[in-house]
Amino acid sequence: MKMILLGAPGAGKGTQAEILSKRLGLVIIGTGNIIREAIASGSALGKKFQSYTDHGALVPDDLVVEMVADRLSQPDCSGRYILDGFPRTVVQAEKFEEMGATVDAVISLVISDEEIMERMTGRRVCERCGTPYHIHHNPPAAEGVCDKCGGTLVTRKDDAPDTVAKRLAVYHEQTEPLVDFYRARGVLTSIDATQGMDRVTEEILAAIGET
Ligand code: AMP
């Protein structure tokens, strides 16, 4: 199973990727997490990434495609993965196809901009391992502490209201066209992302024939 999760920032891609990864034994390739790790490492590439992410802009296509190609070449991926946050533009999707990559299912998580704004204010992420949480919808067992690794939960800089507004504009302009791109390839299922987390997971599993 090779799956892509599409959706606006805050639609629940990271959360669903975690759940599906456990249920189906799929490796998560989350470009946002890989980019944040590079930024945290303080490398020159990380600094370059930060100049885009801090302003809600997308990292240039070539850099992201190279990063994904590199990750996919590692043995643990071997044909069973979930792409969370990639592709983000039609150019990335085309380059991905040029690499010879195929996908079995693309899930589009549908949600309004207003709902996204409300959700983002409660979003937290583990600064050590990148696991996503939400203070209301998906809280950790102990406030501010990651269930998985005990790391500190933080609000991402790019979840600030102004940046979220910019990211939503970027989503509509650059990423939403991928819905038609994958619909034309016959692999797209759209799911209402405002339902409870468990219901969204059930609908994804049904869409990929895993119920
Ligand atoms: P995310 O955690 O997926 O919301 O990603 C956080 C930030 O990383 C985004 O706002 C972008 O700046 C950058 N990013 C993540 N994935 C991509 C991608 N596929 N293409 C370009 N930029 C990306």
Quote the pLDDT of residue 106.
98
Dump pLDDT digits (tens) for 5-16: 999 988 999 999
Dump pLDDT digits (tens) for 97-108: 999 998 999 999
Tell me the CA distances in angstroms from 192 to 70, 183, 204, one per residue in order.
Answer: 33, 16, 10
- Find the mean pLDDT for residues 144-168: 90
CA 89 / ligand 1 centre spacing (Å):
11
CA 13 / ligand 1 centre spacing (Å):
12
The model's confidence at residue 51, banded by pLDDT at 50, 70 and 90, is very high
- Find the mean pLDDT for residues 103-125: 92
- Cα–Cα distance measured from residue 106 to residue 74, given in angstroms and rounded to the nearest whole number: 22
Q: Is the CB of 86 under 6 A from ligand 1?
A: yes
